[in-house]
Structures are given as structure tokens and as C-alpha cells.
Structure 1
Amino acid sequence: MPTAEQGPAEQQLAAVPVLPGIEDLGPVRPPQDPRPAPRRRARPEPLPELLWAGLTALPGMEHLGPSPRAPQRLQRRRVAGWKAPRGAVIVDRTTAYGNPWRIAGDDRRGWRVFRLVDGAETGLTLCTSEAEARALAVDRYRAYLTDERPDLIERARTELAGCDLLCPCRPGAACHADVLLDAAAGRPITPRRREDLAS
């Protein structure tokens, strides 16, 4: 029998007559909501680094801001309509972070690594391949920072920390911006011996 203490739904259930022989089935429960419980949406995985860099380089996509990953070196392009990704810093020779060591030559005549001082090539070193010349120029940049410009290392730790770096060097090639990424992250910068540069 329904009682005053029961709610409307419980009173309706209590008013239903119990058939003989099924008293042991226990109390009657109200029907459950047939709709499934809403599923929680999984957090989207972060975009791959190169995809994010490409998105932020597109016109109108600068609002995406810095990517949720470790800073990296990107290629600075000099083509119409190209814009630097938001938060990226240019570190080529138009800035104080540029590498004073240059490379020139070709595979037929050989490659040379040098530094211009008053318009003259100094510290000239000949290499057999572009990869060897680039690796040597980057290693000499390490020595340049540690021996001549330790102030740039300190500047990099404050000015470049957490930023992508832009340089004209093509992706995959040795570049002084990789050294600056180490400096900005507080990693040690130690020049290597020339015989170790190919490793």
C-alpha cells in the first residue's frame, strides 16, 4: 500500500498488485533512462611539429601562437606572401646572432669555409663536400660563441628561450641556429674536433 512518505513514482509502483509467487523478486525499480551516458571526448593529440609549423606559416593562421612542443629551427623563406610564424625569431646574418663563418664553392672545385674581415677571406679551410663545409662552419660558430661572444650565449638564454628560430639554411642541413637552440635551452656548447664532424 502506498504511504504519505513515498514520492509519486514510488506510490504508483506500490499500488501495482503483486502477483502470487513472485514476491521473492524484490522491490520493483523504476525504468532506467534508455539513452546511453554521454561519452567524454578524448583530448586531441598535439599536431606533429612540421604540420604545426606549416599551419602557423599560412596567412591568417598566426593566431595559433607557438606550438605546444620544443622549439626548433625553421627555414626563413624569401618569397612573396611568406610570413614568419608567430613567436619565431630570425637569427641570420641580419641579426647579432648570425654566423660570421661562411661557405662557398661547389662539388667540382671544392668547398671553402672562411670569415670575412674588412672584405678579405680569413681562416680559409678547404672541404671536399658541402656537408663537411657546413659542419665545419657550424663548429666554428660554436668556438666563436664560447671564445669571442659568450655574451651572445647569455642573450640567447633570455631572448630566444622557448622560440622557434628562423634561418635560410634548408631543413636537414647543418645550421648555426641548432647551436642557438642549445644555448637557449641552457645546454652546453662545446666545439668538436674536425675529425669528429662527419660523425
Structure 2
Amino acid sequence: MSAQPVRIQRKRAPGWAAGAAVIVDRSSRYGNPWRIIDDHILLHPDGITQSFGSLAEAQKAASGHYEAWLQETGPDVHRIGRKEFSRRRVLTDMWRLEGRDLACTCPLPEPGQPDHCHAAVLLRLANTPAS
């Protein structure tokens, strides 16, 4: 029996490699169109900003919006500059994430703390049997 897949933090340092993990940060098809800036401000895909009291609160909101978007809330496609975030593409390719570790640039939570990263959402959705 293989180990449960986990989220790892992608490093942008020389020599760092994802190994067998799938990179799901904003550079990938699985990226989150909601972005955190200045450690507490959530930038929505439409350019609206929302301020939070902490990074953890902003991360929770960003991952919550991402999960709601995957569950059919809002438009199917978000275009930010030249980047296109497509819900249909994420959902169609979800099978590629099953059983795989996922790498995102978000910091890992402290032990015992919840993981408010969109990669944690993807891990759960990709590894939950359909009912």
C-alpha cells in the first residue's frame, strides 16, 4: 500500500526539483486565480482586493474561493493578463493528480494547523472516491 499523497512546498532555488510531485502553482493548469499580495490582501481574478487581518485568513479565503469555483461558482474561465485559468481544464485533468504529491509555492502549515492552500483542496478532491 502506498503512502497518502502530500503537499510539498515548491522552492524556486537552484537545484530544487519536484521529483515525482506534480507542480500545481499558478504557472500550471491547476493554479489558483485568487492571489495573496502583501501577506494579507486577497486579489480576486477581477482585480478587486480584499484585506484580511493575517496571512492565514487570506489563505483560507483564497483556497475557499478556489474550491467554490471548482464546484461551479462563478465563471468557467478567469483571464488574468495572458494567463487563462479554466475550471473545465482543471476538472478534466483531475485524474492526473490522483495518488500524487502536489507542489505549490505556499508555505507549509505548522504541525497540527489546517492547510489553507489550493493544493490541499486539489489533494482532497483528487483522492476522494466518487460517491
Range of TM-score over shorter length: 0.7 to 0.9
Gap regions ≥5 residues in structure 1: 1-66, 189-199
Aligned residue type for 2:102: L
Displaced runs of 4+ in structure 1, greater than 3 A? Answer: none
Partner of residue 3, structure 1: none
Residue 60 of structure 2: SS of its match in structure 1? helix
2:80 corresponds to which residue?
none
> TM-score when scaled to structure 2?
0.76
SS at match of 1:74: strand
In structure 2, the residue corresponding to 1:132 is in which secondary structure? helix
Provide the identity percentage.
39
Q: Find 1:90's aligned residue among 8, 13, 23.
A: 23
The reply to whether residue 71 of structure 1 matches residue 5 of structure 2 is yes
AA matched with 1:83? A
After superposition, what is the alpha-carbon deviation per residue over 1:143-191, rounded to whole angstroms, capped at 9, x for unaligned? 11112325523421x1111100010111115210000001111368xxx
Pick from 110, 116, 120: which aligns with 1:178?
120
Residue 103 of structure 1 aligns to a residue in which SS? strand
Relative contact order higher in (CA < 8 Å, ≥ 6 apart): 2
Question: Matched residue of 1:142: which SS?
Answer: helix
- Between Structure 1 and Structure 2, the one with more strand by share is 2
- State the match for 1:105 in structure 2: 38
Aligned to 1:114: 43
Aligned AA (2:100): C
Task: Measure, in 1, the Cα distance between the counterparts of 2:125 and 2:100.
Answer: 12
CA contact (8 A) 1:153 1:184 kept: no
Segments of structure 2 that go 5 or more residues without pairing to the other structure are 77-86, 110-114
Higher helix fraction (1 or 2): 1
TM-score normalised by structure 1 residue count? 0.51
In structure 2, C-alpha distance between the alignment counterparts of 1:98 and 1:151, rounded to whole Å: 11
Determine the C-alpha separation between the residues in 2 that align with 1:75 and 1:139.
19
Match of 1:166 among 103, 107, 116: 103
- CA root-mean-square deviation: 2.1
* CA distance in 1 between partners of 2:45 and 2:71 (Å): 19
Aligned residues: 112
SS of the equivalent of 2:69 reads helix
